[in-house]
Structure 1
């Protein structure tokens, strides 16, 4: 039996997520948008990847990272990102290259509703590592709700590679990748 989804809430209610407005310098020649470590991104960038050519009805992501930070933006087109901390979930519409979503470790993500021209750019705090992924939503929710599983309010979090603000580390969970489940 599939676990119930956590209730929908504003983004501010979801621990470990924040929208970042990127500096956008525009003049008659066009726009230049800047992302700098130590300014908009507070973790070392170890990997960059693009998601594109996604069919409108496809859902991607469907996982949580134990230690990885992600900085997600739509370079073109649009898509939805659902973020879930085990207590609250929010839906974020990304459709501008000067607005990004920072997702800390311990947050479940789902990507959907890609426009035909959508290109999702992700800056990640570490190289790909299968053991960093948790693909079982039920296990994610159970872990997130364990007393003392994370920050002072009991929410799951990690002290990840990129200097996360959460507490404990999510360990010993399912890492088997279902087909088409990674972002």
Structure 2
């Protein structure tokens, strides 16, 4: 049986926050997200009005965190679209495979950290929205 991936499979996950008068500390350990981390990258210095993402993954899962500032993540499963604003460094968004994502409305100085379940493989990307929709049929 195949489970249809939907935006409802994507979820916000709280990251443990250790408050301290010298500054807060947050920790991501193996049991927080449901995959082994194989790649880490981050987006920063995104110009005003620019967009990132605009693709889906066939196999890769990702966990996005706004380390600084804020941005919107628009998720689409081919039938439903959902927008989530990330703006807390102690909260991340789990995006499952098979979900189209676009990142927009970056605030000045925002940093988006991405923890990925796979190393980069171009073959895992669906970069044309119409192809994504066809993959859902």
- RMSD over equivalenced CA pairs, Å: 1.1
If the length of structure 1 is used for normalisation, what is the TM-score?
A: 0.70
User: Is 1:32 the equivalent of 2:13?
Assistant: no
In the alignment, which residue of structure 2 is the partner of 1:79? 71
C-alpha distance in structure 2 between counterparts of 1:141 and 1:95, whole Å: 29
SS at match of 1:86: coil
Tell me how far 1:138 sits from its aligned partner: 1.1
C-alpha distance in structure 2 between counterparts of 1:55 and 1:28, whole Å: 33
C-alpha distance in structure 2 between counterparts of 1:138 and 1:64, whole Å: 11
Tell me how far 1:141 sits from its aligned partner: 1.4
In our comparison, the structure showing a higher alpha carbon Rg is 1
Pick the aligned partner of 2:116 from 124, 128, 139: 124
In the alignment, which residue of structure 2 is the partner of 1:181? none
Tell me how far 1:108 sits from its aligned partner: 0.2
User: Is 1:23 the equivalent of 2:16?
Assistant: yes
C-alpha distance in structure 1 between counterparts of 2:86 and 2:133, whole Å: 25
What does the per-residue CA deviation read over 1:19-49, in whole Å, with 9 as the maximum and x for residues that have no partner? 00111110212111111112x1110100000
Is the 1:16–1:107 Cα contact (8 Å) retained in structure 2?
no
* Higher strand proportion (structure 1 or 2): 2
C-alpha distance in structure 2 between counterparts of 1:142 and 1:128, whole Å: 23
In the alignment, which residue of structure 1 is the partner of 2:87? 95
Give the unaligned 5+ runs of structure 2.
1-5
The 5 Å alignment of 1:43-122 reads 43-122=35-114
Moved over 3 A (4+): none
If the length of structure 2 is used for normalisation, what is the TM-score?
A: 0.92
In the alignment, which residue of structure 2 is the partner of 1:136? 128
Larger relative contact order, structure 1 or 2 (CA cutoff 8 Å, min sep 6)? 2
Number of residue-to-residue matches in the alignment: 132
Give the unaligned 5+ runs of structure 1.
1-12, 147-183
SS at match of 1:142: helix
Tell me how far 1:14 sits from its aligned partner: 1.7
Is the 1:23–1:98 Cα contact (8 Å) retained in structure 2?
yes
Is the 1:76–1:118 Cα contact (8 Å) retained in structure 2?
yes
